[in-house]
Amino acid sequence: MKNEMTPNDVLRPIAYRPADTARLLGISLSHLDRMTKAGEIPYALLGGIRVYSDDALREWIIEKTAQNHSLDVTKDTRNDEGLKE
């Protein structure tokens, strides 16, 4: 099986600078900065420039979505138990 690239793969950056990352995530640059300093979001330093890997961001979003879903399910279960009492 060949490792074939689609046109979208060719054009997709492997990393983003902070302003682009904030725009892609739909958050302010200052919020991204706070999250970065708190260690909440993955990043790398390349020659002193902070960059955010496309793959790492996608994986991070998937993990955060799963965590939030898990919390919602737990919350719903607790609410259901409270209704039964």
Q: Classify residue 3: in a domain, yes or no.
A: no
| DSSP sequence for the chain | ---PPPHHHHHS-SEE-HHHHHHHHTS-HHHHHHHHHTT-S--EEETTEEEEEHHHHHHHHHHHHHHHHHHHHHHHHHHHHHHH-
| Domain encompassing residue 47 | 12-84
Residue 47 lies in a domain: yes
- Is 1 within the bounds of a domain? no
- Please state whether the predicted TM-score (pTM) of the whole model is above 0.85: no
Average pLDDT over residues 37-51: 96
Flag whether 42 is in a domain: yes
Residue 4 lies in a domain: no
Task: Give the total number of structural domains in the chain.
Answer: 1
Asked, for residue 45, whether it belongs to a domain, the answer is yes
Average pLDDT over residues 30-52: 97
The answer to whether residue 32 is domain-embedded is: yes
pLDDT tens for residues 47-70? 999 999 999 999 999 999 998 877
pLDDT computed for residue 76 by the predictor: 57
pLDDT at 26 > cutoff 50? yes
Using 50, 70 and 90 to split pLDDT, how confident is the model at 29? very high
